[in-house]
Amino acid sequence: MAGIGPLTQDWEPVVIRKKAPSAAAKKDEKVVNAARRAGAEIESIKKSNAGTNRAASSSTSLNTRKLDEETENLSHDRVPTELKKAIMQARMDKKLTQAQLAQLINEKPLIIQEYESGKAIPNQQIIGKLERALGAKLRGKK
C-alpha cells in the first residue's frame, strides 16, 4: 500500500430528509395552525354533502317513483288444497304420525306440518319423497 500513491477520502456528504407530508397530514389541525402563524396562504373549501348521509345523485327518487307506481302483488306459491288433503289422507292410511313420516323422508317434522297446513312453499324434491314414502301419487293427474 505504501507505493500506490496518496490516500484521499472520496466521500460525499449524505443528507437525510424526512419524507414530504401526506395529504392527510397537510389537513391536520396542527399543521394548518402552524401555517397560519407562519403567514402562509390557506385555502378552505366546503364540500356540499360533507357530514350528511345523502347520496350525491338523485337517482334514488327515480327508483322510489318506480316502486310507488308498481301495483303487482307479489307472493310465494303455497301448497294447493288438494295436495295437502292428499298428503294427510295418505299418511292416515299408512297410520303414520307427522314425525314418523318426516323421519321416513329425512326431513324435519315442521316440514310435514307446513305442507299439511298449506303454509309451505312447494318443493318438488320433497313432494317426490312424500310420494315414495306414502306410496301414493300426490302431483299430476291421479
Q: SS3 sequence, 7-61?
A: CCCCCCCCCCCCCCCCHHHHCCHHHHHHHHHHCCCCCCCCCCCCCCCCCCCCHHH
Tens-digit pLDDT profile for residues 60-100: 667 777 877 777 777 888 889 999 999 999 999 999 999 99
Of 104, 98, 99, 100, the C-alpha closest to 84 is: 98
User: At residue 141, what is the residue type?
Assistant: K
Total tally of structural domains belonging to the chain: 1
% of the chain residues with pLDDT over 90: 38
For residue 39, tell me if it sits in a domain.
Answer: no
Cell matching residue 98:
307427522
Q: Residue 116 maps to which CATH number?
A: 1.10.260.40
For residue 61, tell me if it sits in a domain.
Answer: no
User: At residue 97, what is the residue type?
Assistant: T
User: At residue 10, what is the residue type?
Assistant: D
Rounded CA-CA distance 128/139 in Å is 9
Rounded CA-CA distance 84/90 in Å is 10
Residue numbers of the domain that contains 106 = 81-134
For residue 120, tell me if it sits in a domain.
Answer: yes
What is this structure's pTM?
Answer: 0.49
For residue 93, tell me if it sits in a domain.
Answer: yes
Tens-digit pLDDT profile for residues 24-45: 666 778 888 888 888 888 777 7
